[in-house]
């Protein structure tokens, strides 16, 4: 009954110490070690293991993703018996909420415009607005979306949320399902995408979506790069349908040299740094989930493989 870890050695060392303290009866092994007993591996923690790597472990029961998203995992190649659990830990949620709040405030106060004007040696005035005069719409109401909304609420923004399934969140006007998407978009002055990447959400940030938003709206994408159709964003910024965007994810990553996003005056670009797994807190969460499974309980963050999240 072994937990095998595949990933950076520094994180593995921290997690090995946590398992030695918390679950001494569950051997913790790192993929770089010699003589791994493959049949003994029941749990695997990894980011993007190759299908042939996973196939080495005939008794694998649970694949733990070390990040919040699972779109990079070879779900279609996993045996049906293998359960998949994504990482839900405080460090990721807090960091994402901070990034979203930073992005919304930057776009609300027109920082892309003022930075562009500064670089052009211009002292340009634009009338400021209060947060109460703008509505932020968050796409994706999982752990990250709800954490972001909690941090945004005290700032005074009017808040909306949209997801596939219905939610009730204090202080947030919630929309659910494809039939409610147009109404949600129609009032989103700042649209934040935190959706999981699935076949249904790939390319959702596109011309049709932007045209349904208020003219002069802004975009934050901290979900996945493949949510966004790059050419449609550039066209929306050129036409004035959108006035600015802050992007933490792109497709591909990194962007090639010379890509239009790098130099566009209305785009703030960050290199996928909005949130990352914190080794100490994530190790505790991983140990908690293994303990839950051994006790016959449902782990936190278990993925519905049919839906992809």
Q: What is the pLDDT of residue 190?
A: 99
Angle, alpha carbons 231-234-239 (nearest 5°): 125
Which tens digits make up the pLDDT trace of 12-47? Answer: 999 999 999 999 999 999 988 878 999 999 999 999
- Residue 243 annotated to the active site: no
Q: What is the pLDDT of residue 308?
A: 85
Q: Which of 11, 224, 227, 264 is catalytic?
A: 224
d(CA 108, CA 244) in angstroms, rounded, equals: 10
Q: What is the pLDDT of residue 59?
A: 97
Q: Which residues of the chain have pLDDT under 70?
A: none
Nearest to 152 by CA among 109, 113, 101, 102: 101
d(CA 2, CA 57) in angstroms, rounded, equals: 11
d(CA 276, CA 209) in angstroms, rounded, equals: 28
What is 90-125 written as a DSSP string? Answer: HHHHHHHHHHHHHHHHHHHTTHHHHHHHHHTT----
Half-sphere exposure of 136 (CA within 13 A, CB side): 34
How many DSSP H helices and E strands does the chain contain?
10, 12
Residue ranges and CATH numbers for the domains of the chain are 2-89+277-294 (3.40.50.720), 91-269 (3.40.50.720)
Do 213 and 181 touch, CB atoms closer than 8 A? Answer: no
Q: Which of 22, 272, 292, 305 is catalytic?
A: 272
Nearest to 255 by CA among 230, 281, 236: 230
Q: What is the pLDDT of residue 167?
A: 97
Here the tokens at position 212 are 């349904």
- The chain-wide mean pLDDT, for the chain, equals 96
Q: What is the pLDDT of residue 283?
A: 97
Give how far Cα 89 sits from Cα of 13, 23, 288, 291, 295, Å. 18, 19, 11, 16, 20
Here the tokens at position 82 are 């293998």
Which tens digits make up the pLDDT trace of 180-220? Answer: 999 999 999 999 999 999 999 999 999 999 999 999 999 99
Q: What is the pLDDT of residue 101?
A: 98
- Residue 224 annotated to the active site: yes
């Amino acid at each position: 009954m072994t937990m095998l870890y595949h990933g950076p050695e520094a994180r593995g060392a921290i997690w090995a110490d946590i398992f030695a303290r918390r679950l001494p009866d569950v051997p913790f092994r790192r993929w770089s070690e010699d003589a791994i007993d493959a049949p003994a591996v029941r749990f695997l923690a990894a980011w993007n293991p190759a299908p042939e790597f996973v196939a080495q472990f005939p008794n694998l029961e649970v694949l733990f993703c070390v990040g919040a998203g699972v779109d990079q995992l070879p779900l279609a190649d996993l045996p049906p018996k293998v359960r998949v659990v994504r990482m839900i830990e405080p460090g990721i949620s807090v960091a994402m909420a901070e990034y979203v709040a930073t992005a919304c405030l930057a776009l609300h106060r027109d920082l892309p415009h003022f930075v562009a004007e500064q670089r052009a040696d211009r002292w340009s005035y634009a009338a400021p607005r209060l947060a109460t005069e703008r509505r932020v719409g968050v796409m994706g109401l999982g752990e990250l979306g709800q954490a972001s909304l909690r941090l945004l609420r005290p700032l005074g923004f009017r808040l909306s949320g949209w997801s596939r399934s219905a939610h009730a969140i204090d202080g947030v006007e919630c929309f659910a399902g494809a039939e409610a998407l147009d109404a949600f978009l129609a009032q989103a002055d700042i649209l934040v995408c935190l959706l999981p990447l699935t076949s249904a959400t790939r390319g959702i940030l596109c011309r049709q979506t932007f045209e349904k938003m208020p003219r002069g709206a802004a975009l934050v994408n901290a979900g996945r790069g493949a949510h966004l159709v790059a050419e449609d964003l550039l066209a929306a910024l050129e036409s004035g349908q959108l006035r600015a965007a802050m992007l933490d994810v792109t497709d591909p990553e990194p962007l090639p040299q010379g890509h239009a996003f790098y130099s566009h005056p209305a785009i703030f670009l960050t290199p996928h740094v909005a949130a990352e797994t914190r080794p100490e807190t994530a190790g505790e969460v991983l140990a908690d989930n293994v303990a839950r499974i051994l006790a016959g309980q449902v782990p936190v963050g278990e993925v519905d493989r049919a839906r992809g999240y």
